[in-house]
Amino acid sequence: MALLEARDVRKLYGDVCALDGVSLSIDEGEFVSIIGPNGAGKTTLVNVLTGLARPTDGSVRFRGVDVSVLGSVRLARLGMARSFQLVNVFPGLTVAETLAVAAVSRLGRGSRMWARLARDAEVRGRVEGVAALFGLDDKLTRQARTLPQGDKKLLDVATAFALGPEVILLDEPTSGVSTREKHVIMEVLVQAAERMGVKAIIQVEHDMDIVFGYSHRILALHQGRVLADATPEGIRADPDVVDTVLGKRRP
């Protein structure tokens, strides 16, 4: 059984068809990138995969369970997490508090007061452990909004890892940072995934150097449909993808 599987997913917003018959299967050990031009349906697909949007038709199952009936908290506890850029949502929190938001959810401490959570050894241990993996352990007391952009992106990704997922979905994890920082972020991400036992990574990414440098498979979307689902070599060899998605012309 695939870890995550979408079958013939359609998503309508009124008369607009954002996804039209999309199917996708993610197996253990895969790093899959979703690419496509603006309006291709990438973010809608991630929203459907993570249960934030219910498909109009078709189904999405994680470990055989319909994600649309789970909700984000139950889905996270089952083993799927998504980065949510909490730095922007809670700009006044410190790095430690931002990571604790995720750790609290994972450990089922949601009903307890922050003052008590600060003394919770299990929450503190998870926060410190994840921070160390992402090189943020010396910044735990800093307000997240004061971090350099590269560290903010690392914190965005780290919050998803703090949920202890088996499958993680990342929406443009390297956007807004320099080329050098992008590769640093990706190397840290991949190493953290290996150490924490993450079984599959799915990312939406526009930077083709990152996409081709780290992906095992690439799903190319165009106008809500799957244009191609192939290895990086297969994508490069597909003239339709080269013309439509990569923006290059065949000789």
Rounded-to-integer distance, Cα 128 and Cα 136, Å: 9
User: What mean pLDDT, rounded, does the chain reach?
Assistant: 88
The model carries a pTM of 0.88
The pLDDT-based confidence of 171 (bands split at 50, 70, 90) is confident
Q: What is the domain partition of the chain in residue ranges?
A: 1-79+165-251, 87-163
The pLDDT-based confidence of 106 (bands split at 50, 70, 90) is low
The pLDDT-based confidence of 129 (bands split at 50, 70, 90) is very high
The pLDDT-based confidence of 111 (bands split at 50, 70, 90) is very low
Name which of 9-18, 176-185, 212-221, 227-236 the model is least confident about.
176-185
Q: Cα angle at 159 between 157 and 165, to 5 degrees?
A: 90
Rounded-to-integer distance, Cα 129 and Cα 137, Å: 8
Question: Given this model, what pLDDT does residue 85 score?
Answer: 66
Residue 218's beta-bridge partner residues?
33, 230
Chain position carrying tokens 């992008």: 182
> In the predicted model, is pLDDT for residue 144 greater than 50?
yes
Structure-model confidence comparison of residues 247 and 95, the more confident one:
95
Rounded-to-integer distance, Cα 98 and Cα 25, Å: 31
> In the predicted model, is pLDDT for residue 250 greater than 50?
no
Question: Given this model, what pLDDT does residue 194 score?
Answer: 94
Strand-pair category, 4-13 with 57-62: antiparallel
Q: Which of 2.60.40.10, 3.30.360.10, 1.10.10.10, 3.40.50.300 is the CATH number of 1-79+165-251?
A: 3.40.50.300
Mean pLDDT of 132-148: 94
Rounded-to-integer distance, Cα 49 and Cα 171, Å: 12
Rounded-to-integer distance, Cα 32 and Cα 29, Å: 10
